[in-house]
Structure 1
Amino acid sequence: MKSLFFKFTAILLTLGLSSLSDMEENINTQSFQGKAYYLSKSKMDLGTWGSRLSEGQKKEIEARMKNRLQKSYVLTFNKEESFFNEEDKLDAMSGATDSWGKNFAPGDQYKNVKTNSQIQNQEFYGKNFLVNDSLQPITWIMGKETKQIGNYLCFKATASIPSDELTWFNFSWSKLRNTNSTKAKTDSIQGDSKTDEIAMTDVEAWYAPQIPVSHGPLEYWGLPGLILEVSSGNTTMLCTKIVMNPEDKMEIKAPEKGTLVTKMEYQEIISKKMQEFRNNRGGRGRG
C-alpha cells in the first residue's frame, strides 16, 4: 500500500511539473514583447515614359507621390506571434489618406511562426477580405558580414523569392498581361513539359541575434533574430526604433473580419475586378 501511495504521488508530481512548465512557457511567451518601428522608402520608377521628363517634372511627381513612396510601419511581437501594420499618414498635399493606394497596399498582418500561419486583412474597394495562408517559404543564405543598426550588431542574409509572392496583395496591368499570356501558352501547347521562367526578386536582410525572435516586416521572417533592415527591388525598409517589453502591453490578435480566402484566391478576385473596371470604361489599363 505504501509503495502504491508513493507511485501515485510521483505521478501527480510529474503531471504538476509538466503543467507548471507549460504554464511558465505560456507566461514567458506573453510577457516577452517588443515593438519595432520601420520606415519604408521606395525609389520612383517612371520607366521609358520618365526619360522624356525634365528633372523638375520628376521632382514634382516625386513630391506628389511621397505618401506612396515613403511609409511608416509598426511590428509588435512576442516569441511566437507578430502583428504588422502601417501607421496612418495624411497626404501632405490634400490632407487626406491615400484611399486609392490602400486598395493595393499590405493590410494588417498577423504571423505565427509556431503554427506556420499568416492572416492578413485586405480591403479592396470597400470589401474586407481575410487572407489566411501559410508563411512565405524563404531559403536564407547566411552571410558573415555585419553592421551596426542602432544599438544592435546585425548579420547579413540573402534570399531569392518569387516576385509575385512578395506582392500578392498588389495589382498591375503588366502582371495581368503576363498571367494571360502564360495561360494562353499553356492552353495552346498540349503535353509540353516546358514551363515559363518565374520572375524572382533578390532580397538582402540584416537581423539582430540580440533579439532572439524569427520575425520581420511584411513577408519576411525565419532568421535567428529580428530583421531590422530588408531591401528588395526598389524598396528598403529600415527599423528606426525598438522598444523592448513596453509598459503598455498589446495583445497580439489575428484579424477576424472579412471574407476568408487564400492568397491565390485573393489575386484572382482583384484581377477579375480590375478587368471588369477596364471593360466598363472601354479603355486599356496601363502597366
Structure 2
Amino acid sequence: MKSILLKFSVIFLVILLSSGFTPKKNKSVQDFQGKAYYFSKAKMDLGTWGARLNEGQKKEVEARLKNRLQKNYVLTFNKEESFFEEEDQLDAMSGATDSWGKNFTPGHQYKNVKTNSQVQNQEFYGKNFLVKDSLQPIVWVMGKETKEIGNYTCFKATASIPTNELTWYNFSWNRLNETADDSTKDDIAMTIVEAWYTPQIPVGHGPLEYWGLPGLILEVSAGNTTMLCSKIIINPKEQVEIKAPEKGKIVSKQEYQQIISKKMIEFRDNRSGRRRG
C-alpha cells in the first residue's frame, strides 16, 4: 500500500512540474513594496552680496529660488532595491520648470543594497549620461536618541562623509580650484550627516546617497539641507517594477564630474573670449 501511495505521489509531482506549476514564494518577500514621499528645505546663504539687500529684496530672491530651496521626492523600494526621483515643480515666478537647475540636480537614481550598486541617469546640457558605480561607503555611528516621525519611532545615526562624494552630480568652482591646487589634496572637506531611521520598516534604503541603516531613513540633515519624509505607503494597490535606468553614455561618478568640470571651463573661457573681443 505504501509503495502504491509513493508511486502516486511521484507521478502527481511530475504532472505538476510538467504543467509549469511552481510553488508561490512568501508574499512578504516577493511582493513587498513601499513608497516614501520626502520634501527638502535648504537654508539660503547669500553671503556678502546678500548683506547689501533689504528685507523686501531678500524675500524676492527667496521666491525666485524657491524651486531650488524646496523640493519634493519619491522613493519606491522593496527589500533590496530602491528608485529615487524628484517630482517636477513649476517655477514660482515664471510658471516654467527649472531647466538650468536640472543640470546640477540628481537624476533618477536606482540603488541595490544587495549588490552594492547604483545607477543614475543625468542630463547635462541635452546629453544623457548613465552613471554606474558602487554605493557611497558610509560608516554610521548608531545613537540611542529616539523621536517620533509620523507614526514611526526613529533612532538617530550620524556619519562623516566627504562633501564631494555627496554632491558628485553638481559643479563647484571651489572644488575645481582645490583639485588644481596640490596643497589642498590631503585636506578633504567633510560633511556631518544626521539621519533618523525606523526599524519598523526594516530595509536599508534612504533618499539620495544615504543608505545602510537597519531601517528606512525618514529624515536626514547634511550641510544646510534637511530632507524629511511626509508620507509612507506600504504595499500600495498598484505596484511598479523597480529597475535601473538604461539610456545614456555609461560613466563612473568620477568620470561624470570630470566631464562637467571640463565643459564649465569651456563655457567660462568662451565667455571671457567674447568679452575680450
SS of equivalent residue, structure 1 residue 97: coil
Matched with 2:74 is 74
C-alpha deviation, 1:29, in angstroms = 3.6
- Give, as a single letter, the amino acid of the residue that structure 2 aligns with 1:154: C
The aligned runs of 1:183-194 (5 Å cut-off) are 185=183
For 1:47-105, what per-residue CA distance to the aligned partner results, in whole angstroms no more than 9, with x for missing partners?
22222222222111111100110000000000000000000111121111000000000
Aligned partners of 1:253, 1:274: CA distance in 2, in Å?
A: 32
Aligned partners of 2:44, 2:221: CA distance in 1, in Å?
A: 15
Is residue 2:139 matched to residue 1:139? Answer: yes
Matched with 2:120 is 120
Matched with 2:89 is 89
Aligned partners of 1:180, 1:122: CA distance in 2, in Å?
A: 25
| Aligned match for 1:214, one of 198, 204, 209 | 204
SS of equivalent residue, structure 2 residue 146: strand
Is residue 2:253 matched to residue 1:263? Answer: yes
Contact persistence 1:120–1:131 (CA under 8 A): yes
C-alpha deviation, 1:177, in angstroms = 1.4
C-alpha deviation, 1:142, in angstroms = 0.4
Contact persistence 1:29–1:80 (CA under 8 A): no
- Give, as a single letter, the amino acid of the residue that structure 2 aligns with 1:211: I
Aligned partners of 1:43, 1:113: CA distance in 2, in Å?
A: 31
Matched with 1:58 is 58
Moved over 3 A (4+): 27-30
- Greater mean alpha carbon deviation, residues 167-176 or residues 227-236: 167-176
- Give, as a single letter, the amino acid of the residue that structure 2 aligns with 1:120: Q
Task: Name the TM-score, length of structure 2 as normaliser.
Answer: 0.89
- Give, as a single letter, the amino acid of the residue that structure 2 aligns with 1:275: I
Matched with 1:245 is 235
SS of equivalent residue, structure 1 residue 282: helix
- Give, as a single letter, the amino acid of the residue that structure 2 aligns with 1:173: W
For 1:22-41, what per-residue CA distance to the aligned partner results, in whole angstroms no more than 9, with x for missing partners?
x726x644400000000010
Aligned partners of 1:91, 1:60: CA distance in 2, in Å?
A: 13
Matched with 1:156 is 156
- Give, as a single letter, the amino acid of the residue that structure 1 aligns with 2:211: W
C-alpha deviation, 1:222, in angstroms = 0.3
The aligned runs of 1:5-16 (5 Å cut-off) are none
What do you get for the CA RMSD once the two structures are aligned? 2.2
- Give, as a single letter, the amino acid of the residue that structure 1 aligns with 2:254: M
For 1:102-132, what per-residue CA distance to the aligned partner results, in whole angstroms no more than 9, with x for missing partners?
0000000000000000000000000000000
SS of equivalent residue, structure 2 residue 207: coil
Contact persistence 1:83–1:252 (CA under 8 A): yes
Matched with 2:46 is 46
Is residue 2:25 matched to residue 1:24? Answer: yes
C-alpha deviation, 1:219, in angstroms = 0.2
Seq. identity, %: 76
- Greater mean alpha carbon deviation, residues 110-119 or residues 52-61: 52-61
For 1:153-184, what per-residue CA distance to the aligned partner results, in whole angstroms no more than 9, with x for missing partners?
000000000000000000021221121123xx
Q: Return 5+ residue gaps in structure 2 as ranges.
A: none
SS of equivalent residue, structure 1 residue 250: coil
Aligned partners of 2:245, 2:30: CA distance in 1, in Å?
A: 18
SS of equivalent residue, structure 1 residue 24: coil
> Aligned residues, how many?
260
Aligned partners of 1:98, 1:72: CA distance in 2, in Å?
A: 14
Task: Name the TM-score, length of structure 1 as normaliser.
Answer: 0.86
Matched with 1:35 is 35
Q: Return 5+ residue gaps in structure 1 as ranges.
A: 187-194
Contact persistence 2:63–2:92 (CA under 8 A): no
Matched with 1:191 is none
SS of equivalent residue, structure 2 residue 181: helix
